[in-house]
């Protein structure tokens, strides 16, 4: 009690100090603010409503996409039958938009054989809005959740199995175009299967679902969601595995190996031959009459 | 007697000692050598060969790269056989490489993975073996080019040229069999292609394929068979041919570049011991070192990424190793619809031409090159002095044309990698190559020949008018001219140390009775070819021309007297730099 009394006495000494009113006011505001934040009803409008998202998406679509895909995403055909400036987006789903816009492929700079990866133009919020708008045009695959393509939740043993299974699926279905290392490969008429080295799992999953550009569509009946996840797990695993054998030389196979054999191997050894031939075996550099 | 007067007596010991000179006690190495010599009698044989003289030039060491990389191949190859299991028996991989654990594969693939990940130093040895193979064949080709461009394939070395060509063929086959052994996805695709090539042979194709694979592809026999071919059959023949190649080299003696003191009868250079033993030995360690560095730092054939072979799988970038790249390129650019159906059987020209016809034809042509040239020139003399490539313009141009053909076919073999790395269309590359493969060699031939001929002209200019000094002088009337100075006697000797080319001519061809001379038709062809080969060449100046040019140069020198000092640009004005003690400064 004595201790309490003493503390109370000390406090009361400042009770009428010049700053006391201000301190009380600040403490009161802090308390009421915290209480309000803690107990106020949940915010209904931190996420824009779906209608708002679709409306925003439509605005963005009209400004950036409609030139090729049409004002309602119906696609614009060219004069030549069977060809189009931009395809119809009805039914491509949110996943297609998230892939194409999220990797910078869309909007395209110019019509070409294939839309290349480039810096992303829109923020994720805008991409979501565009995806919501395109998804509203017709039913299609949705943007996958991280749990769909991650093996985080599995046990160590299950993960290993998933990775080796994914490797075999990758070699059966993907390497014919993307190469054994995921380094990419050539497609007809200037097209190409892109390099997969730094592609996020989410975009790989979306590409499998939607089959962008020349890529075939691996529907869930074709590759189950677990098999897609395993492929992604395998690709992540070869990224994380150290290159046991040294520099990978681009991971392109025998062509780059041949290039190195000629340039480093033969080039280096010819330089060595020139060096040896220009030196005598004597340690002193006296003139040798040959 | 005159020769004795030339003996240098300054180094003869002058002594008036009273005891006779005795041989000092032999050193330890010396007594060991005599012990061995008394029992083996190798001293006499070695005496001659250890002093054998080799001429010195960097380009003479290119074949040595092949020899030393073959030694590396033998050493690393023996290491690999200790663990490799050439069997197509099926096992489940349970080794250290995570991504393949639990996957079924052949024992050869599993043992390759075992060597790579579970044998100490195994991956380094595998990669050294593979890099050494790539360098072995590449260095043989570089060596072949050097020999041909310098005319070292002429008499008496034609047979050694043929042996060299066989070595190139065997090296390629050895490489292909080795590449196939791990039974991974990439090599399996290659073996599948080889199966297709066999089957493309008319009539006997399927029989050959069934014989090699012991039934339908892939069967279980091919890997053990390729293994014994790879480790016993071809290396044995390679070793024997390498020995023959080198014995002939010793027998013929090495060719040398022309120069003062170098003739067709002598070899000017350094002896085997100590100079070449040290140089060649040192070069072995360099070759070994370069291969070891490559094996340690650069990935080659990462079989664990390919996984085991499975006929349902394939990967982009499925190419053979570089030396098989050019037939693959021809295969890639040939129109795929070139097929004939005959009595219900398909003849696949689209496979036969690029694989079964053109490569053997090219090899035969390569082997025949010295004989074709010898027949055209009718030259039966022995040649030990080399020619500069420019002094045989047609020959040089023929090889450059062949190289262009090879290079274009080779590039076509990498058309997909070129397409993705240079942002090109694979179709357009193919269309381009289909034309370039015919046009390129012709263009290359023409450019090379003209280039050589202009270099010959340049050599004649140097002989007749001297070299360009780079000193530009301006005469008082404003004319600029570059000063030429005569080249040294050594340089002039070297430039003129070549034969004049003779164009064969056929006269009449019929005797008085109107009977054509025997062989006159082939003689006519020969004369035509001879004129094609030599008539454009620029011949070296005659003695008379050189004499005249020399007089002319002397006259020039007289005119320009005072210019035989380094020119500082102040010859004709009054600001000439001078040394104070030479000429006193003008006093104004």
Contact B511/A at CB under 8 A: no
Distance (Å) from the alpha carbon of A45 to chain B's nearest alpha carbon: 47
The predicted pLDDT at position B8 comes to 64
Q: Are B563 and B483 in contact (CB under 8 A)?
A: yes
What is the C-alpha to C-alpha distance for residues B369 and B149, in angstroms, rounded to an integer?
12
Q: Are A257 and B322 in contact (CB under 8 A)?
A: yes
Describe chain B by its helix, strand, coil percentages, rounded to 5: 60, 5, 35
User: Between chains, do B299 and A248 touch, taking CB under 8 Å as contact?
Assistant: yes
Mutate to test the interface with B, among A169, A175, A255 (most CBs of B within 10 A): A255
For the record, the structure tokens of B571 come out as 């010859």
Of residues A130, A63, A121, the one with CA closest to residue A93: A130
Which backbone phi and psi does B469 adopt, to 5 degrees?
-85, -15
The predicted pLDDT at position B587 comes to 46
Neighbours of A255 (CB within 10 A): 24
What is the C-alpha to C-alpha distance for residues B153 and B163, in angstroms, rounded to an integer?
11
Q: What is the mean pLDDT of chain A?
A: 88
Measured in residues, chain B has a length of 588
User: Between chains, do B299 and A180 touch, taking CB under 8 Å as contact?
Assistant: no
Distance (Å) from the alpha carbon of A275 to chain B's nearest alpha carbon: 8
Q: Are A258 and B322 in contact (CB under 8 A)?
A: yes
Task: ipTM value, please give it.
Answer: 0.87
Q: Which of A87-96, A277-286, B73-82, B565-574 reaches the highest mean pLDDT?
A: B73-82
The predicted pLDDT at position B585 comes to 47
Of residues B403, B394, B344, the one with CA closest to residue B372: B394
Of residues B558, B573, B569, the one with CA closest to residue B473: B569
Residue owning tokens 């199966």: B195
Give me the residues of B, 62-101, that contact A with CB < 8 A.
Answer: 62, 64-65, 98-101
User: Between chains, do A176 and B314 touch, taking CB under 8 Å as contact?
Assistant: yes
CATH node for A50-137: 1.10.760.10
Nearest residue in chain B measured CA to CA from A274: B58
Out of B61, B123, B135, closest to residue A277 by CB: B61
Residues B139-163 as b/e (b if ≥16 CB within 10 A, e otherwise) read bbbbbbbbbbbbbbbbeebbebbbb
Distance (Å) from the alpha carbon of B434 to chain A's nearest alpha carbon: 16
> What is the sign, positive or negative, of the torsion defined by CA atoms of A138, A141, A143, A147?
positive
User: Between chains, do B99 and A253 touch, taking CB under 8 Å as contact?
Assistant: no
CB within 8 Å of B526: residues ≥ 6 apart: B375, B376, B378, B504, B506
Q: Are B36 and A270 in contact (CB under 8 A)?
A: no
CATH 1.20.810.10 is held by the domain B67-91+108-323: yes
Alpha helices in A189-243 (DSSP H): 201-210, 225-240
For the record, the structure tokens of B432 come out as 């381009």
User: Between chains, do A262 and B123 touch, taking CB under 8 Å as contact?
Assistant: no
Which chain A residues are closer than 8 Å to B274 by Cβ? 281
Q: Considering the entire predicted model, what is its pTM?
A: 0.85
Which chain B residues are closer than 8 Å to A256 by Cβ? 417
Which backbone phi and psi does B507 adopt, to 5 degrees?
-105, 135
For the record, the structure tokens of A34 come out as 């915290």
Cis peptide before B401 (omega within 30 of 0): no
Out of B59, B127, B135, closest to residue A265 by CB: B135
For the record, the structure tokens of B159 come out as 């047979």
User: Between chains, do A290 and B312 touch, taking CB under 8 Å as contact?
Assistant: no
Number of A–B residue contacts, CB under 8 Å: 219
* Residue A137 clears pLDDT 80, i.e. is over it: yes
User: Between chains, do B305 and A238 touch, taking CB under 8 Å as contact?
Assistant: yes
Distance (Å) from the alpha carbon of B53 to chain A's nearest alpha carbon: 11
Which chain B residues are closer than 8 Å to A180 by Cβ? 185-186, 305-307, 315-317
Residues of chain B with pLDDT under 70: 1-17, 507-510, 516, 518-519, 557-588
The predicted pLDDT at position B43 comes to 81
Neighbours of B545 (CB within 10 A): 13
Describe chain A by its helix, strand, coil percentages, rounded to 5: 55, 5, 40
CATH 1.10.760.10 in chain A, residues? 50-137, 146-240
What is the C-alpha to C-alpha distance for residues B321 and A256, in angstroms, rounded to an integer?
10
Nearest residue in chain B measured CA to CA from A233: B99
- Of the CATH numbers 3.40.50.1000, 1.10.760.10, 3.30.70.580, 3.40.605.10, which one belongs to the domain with range A146-240? 1.10.760.10
As a whole number, mean pLDDT of residues A146-163 equals: 90
User: Between chains, do B322 and A189 touch, taking CB under 8 Å as contact?
Assistant: no
Nearest residue in chain A measured CA to CA from B288: A269
For the record, the structure tokens of B269 come out as 């250079």
Q: Are A184 and B316 in contact (CB under 8 A)?
A: yes
| pLDDT tens by residue, A7-55 | 666 666 677 777 888 888 898 899 988 888 777 665 555 566 888 999 9
Neighbours of A253 (CB within 10 A): 29
Domain boundaries along the sequence of chain B: 67-91+108-323, 389-501+537-560
Of residues A241, A240, A230, A235, the one with CA closest to residue A151: A230
Which chain B residues are closer than 8 Å to A189 by Cβ? 425-427
């Amino acid at each position: 009690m004595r201790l309490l009394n003493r503390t109370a006495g000390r406090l009361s000494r400042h009770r009428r100090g010049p700053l006391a009113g201000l301190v009380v006011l600040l403490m009161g505001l802090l308390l009421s603010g915290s209480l309000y934040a803690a107990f106020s009803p949940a915010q209904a409008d931190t996420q824009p409503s779906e209608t708002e998202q679709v409306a925003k998406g439509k605005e963005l679509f009209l400004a950036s996409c409609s030139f090729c895909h049409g004002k309602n995403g119906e696609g614009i055909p060219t004069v030549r039958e069977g060809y189009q400036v931009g395809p119809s987006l009805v039914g491509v789903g949110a996943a297609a938009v998230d892939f194409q816009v999220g990797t910078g492929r869309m909007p395209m700079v110019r019509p070409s054989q294939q839309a290349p990866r480039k810096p992303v133009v829109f923020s994720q919020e805008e991409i979501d809005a565009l995806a919501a708008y395109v998804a509203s045009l017709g039913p299609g695959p949705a943007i996958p959740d991280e749990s769909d393509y991650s093996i985080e939740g599995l046990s160590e043993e299950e993960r290993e199995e998933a990775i080796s299974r994914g490797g075999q699926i990758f070699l059966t279905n993907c390497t014919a175009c993307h190469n054994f290392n995921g380094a990419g490969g050539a497609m007809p008429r200037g097209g190409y299967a892109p390099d997969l080295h730094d592609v996020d799992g989410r975009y790989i999953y979306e590409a499998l679902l939607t089959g962008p550009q020349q890529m075939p569509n691996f529907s869930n009946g074709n590759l189950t969601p677990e098999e897609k996840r395993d492929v992604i797990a395998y690709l992540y695993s070869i990224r994380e595995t150290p290159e046991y054998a040294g520099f990978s030389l681009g991971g392109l196979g025998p062509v780059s190996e041949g290039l190195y054999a000629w340039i480093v191997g033969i080039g280096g050894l010819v330089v060595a031959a020139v060096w040896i031939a220009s030196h005598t075996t004597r340690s002193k550099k006296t003139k040798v009459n040959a | 007697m005159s020769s004795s007067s030339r003996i240098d007596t300054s180094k003869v010991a002058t002594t008036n000692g009273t005891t006779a000179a005795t041989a000092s006690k032999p050193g330890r190495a010396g007594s060991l050598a005599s012990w061995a010599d008394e029992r083996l009698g190798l001293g006499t044989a070695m005496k001659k060969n250890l002093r054998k003289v080799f001429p010195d030039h960097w380009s003479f060491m290119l074949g040595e790269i092949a020899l030393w990389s073959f030694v590396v191949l033998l050493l690393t190859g023996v290491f690999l056989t200790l663990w490799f299991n050439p069997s197509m028996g099926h096992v489940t991989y349970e080794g250290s490489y995570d991504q393949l654990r639990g996957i079924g594969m052949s024992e050869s693939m599993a043992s390759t993975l075992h060597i790579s990940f579970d044998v100490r130093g195994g991956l380094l040895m595998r990669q050294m073996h593979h890099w050494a193979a790539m360098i072995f064949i590449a260095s043989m080709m570089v060596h072949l080019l050097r020999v041909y461009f310098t005319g070292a394939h002429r008499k008496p070395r034609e047979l050694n040229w043929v042996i060299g060509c066989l070595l190139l063929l065997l090296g390629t086959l050895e490489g292909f069999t080795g590449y196939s052994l791990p039974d991974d996805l990439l090599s399996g695709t290659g073996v599948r292609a080889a199966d297709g090539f066999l089957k493309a042979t008319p009539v006997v194709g399927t029989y050959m394929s069934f014989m090699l694979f012991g039934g339908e592809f892939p069967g279980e026999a091919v890997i053990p068979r390729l293994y014994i071919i790879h480790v016993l059959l071809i290396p044995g023949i390679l070793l024997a041919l390498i020995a023959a190649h080198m014995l002939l080299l010793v027998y013929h003696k090495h060719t040398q570049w022309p120069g003062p003191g170098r003739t067709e009868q002598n070899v000017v250079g350094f002896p085997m011991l100590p100079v070449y033993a040290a140089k060649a030995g040192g070069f072995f360690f360099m070759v070994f070192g370069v291969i070891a560095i490559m094996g340690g730092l650069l990935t080659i054939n990462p079989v664990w990424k390919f996984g085991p072979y499975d006929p349902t799988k394939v990967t982009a970038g499925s190419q053979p190793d570089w030396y098989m790249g050019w037939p693959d390129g021809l295969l890639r650019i040939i129109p795929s619809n070139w097929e004939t159906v005959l009595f219900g059987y398909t003849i696949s020209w689209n496979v036969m031409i690029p694989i079964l016809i053109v490569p053997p034809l090219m090899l035969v042509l390569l082997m025949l090159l010295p004989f074709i040239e010898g027949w055209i020139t009718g030259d039966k003399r022995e040649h030990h002095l080399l020619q500069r490539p420019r002094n045989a313009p047609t020959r040089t141009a023929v090889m450059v044309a062949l190289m262009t053909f090879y290079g274009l076919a080779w590039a076509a073999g990498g058309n997909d990698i070129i397409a993705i790395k240079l942002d090109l269309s694979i179709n357009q590359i193919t269309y381009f190559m289909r034309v370039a493969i015919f046009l390129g060699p012709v263009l290359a031939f023409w450019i090379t020949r003209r280039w050589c001929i202009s270099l010959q002209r340049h050599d004649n200019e140097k002989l007749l008018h001297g070299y360009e000094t780079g000193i530009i002088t301006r005469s008082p009337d404003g004319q600029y001219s570059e000063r030429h100075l005569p080249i040294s006697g050594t340089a002039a000797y070297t430039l003129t140390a070549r034969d004049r080319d003779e164009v064969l001519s056929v006269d009449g061809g019929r005797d008085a009775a109107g009977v054509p001379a025997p062989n006159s038709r082939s003689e006519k062809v020969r004369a035509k070819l001879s004129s094609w080969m030599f008539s454009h060449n620029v011949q070296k100046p005659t003695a008379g021309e050189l004499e005249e040019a020399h007089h002319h140069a002397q006259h020039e020198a007289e005119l320009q007297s005072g210019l035989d000092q380094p020119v500082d640009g102040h010859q004709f004005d009054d600001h000439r730099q001078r040394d104070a003690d030479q000429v006193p400064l003008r006093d104004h």
